[in-house]
Amino acid sequence: MNVILMGPPGAGKGTQSELIKKEYSIPHISTGDMFREAVSNGTELGNEAKKYMDEGNLVPDEITIGIVKERLSQPDCQKGFMLDGFPRTKIQAEALDEALKDMNVNIQSVINFSVPKEILLERLPARVTCKDCKSVFNKKFNPSSSGNKCEKCGEELIERDDDKGETVNKRLEVYLEQTNPVLDYYEKQGILYNLDGNRSTEEVFADIQNILGSSK
């Protein structure tokens, strides 16, 4: 099963991807997580990506496409994969289709979460992520039962710098301008599913299970 999760920052892709990964046993490929890891490891890729991330801009297509192709060539992707935060431009979507053609696989479903901007602006500054297992919580709407620690693994929960201030507005603007057109691309292929992401985690996940079918 090969799936793409789409939606603006804060729409719930990270939260739902944890549930999908558990239910369907497919690797979760988040370009945002890959870039953040490279930044924290201080690699050349990380230093380059940081310049764009700090501003709320997209990392250039050629860099992003390169890391995704490399990741998809790993053996664990042969049984399927879930892309989260990629593709974010039409050029990335076309490059992905080319790469998948070479691998002889295709995408079954593109699931798009819609959430009103005013809700995203409330969600993002309150979002915290586990330093270790990357579980996502929200101090306002979905707090960890262990306070400032992750309720799953006990590690520290951290806020993202790009979830604050002007960067949030910039990221939402970039999403509308550059990523929204990608939805049309998949709509035309007949594989786009639009979900209302402004509901409980359980309700949204139930819809996802209806789309993806049984894992058994």
User: How many angstroms separate the CA atoms of 28 and 25, rounded?
Assistant: 9
Task: Say how far apart CA 104 and CA 178 lie, in whole Å.
Answer: 28
- Considering the complex, what minimum distance in angstroms separates the CB of residue 174 from ligand AMP? 7
Which spans of this chain sit near ligand AMP (rule: CB under 6 A)?
9, 31-32, 35, 52-53, 56-59, 64, 85-86, 88, 92, 162, 171
129: annotated binding-site residue? no
Long-range contacts of 98-101 (CB under 8 A, 24+ apart): 99/65, 99/68, 99/69, 99/72, 100/2, 100/72
Examine the residue annotation and report whether 88 is marked as an active-site residue of this protein.
Answer: yes
Quote the CA–CA distance of 6 and 12 in Å, as a whole number.
9
141 labeled part of a ligand binding site = no
Query: Is 59 or 192 the residue whose CB approaches ligand AMP more closely?
Result: 59
In angstroms, give the least distance from the CB of 53 to ligand AMP: 4
- The reply to whether 127 belongs to the active site is yes
Our answer to whether residue 123 is catalytic in this structure is no
CA dihedral 80, 58, 118, 183 (to 10 degrees): -50
Is residue 71 part of the annotated active site? The answer reads no
Per the annotation, binding residues for ATP are 10-15, 127, 136-137, 199
Task: List, as residue ranges, the binding site for Zn(2+).
Answer: 130, 133, 150, 153
Q: Which residues have a catalytic role annotated? A: 13, 88, 127, 160, 171
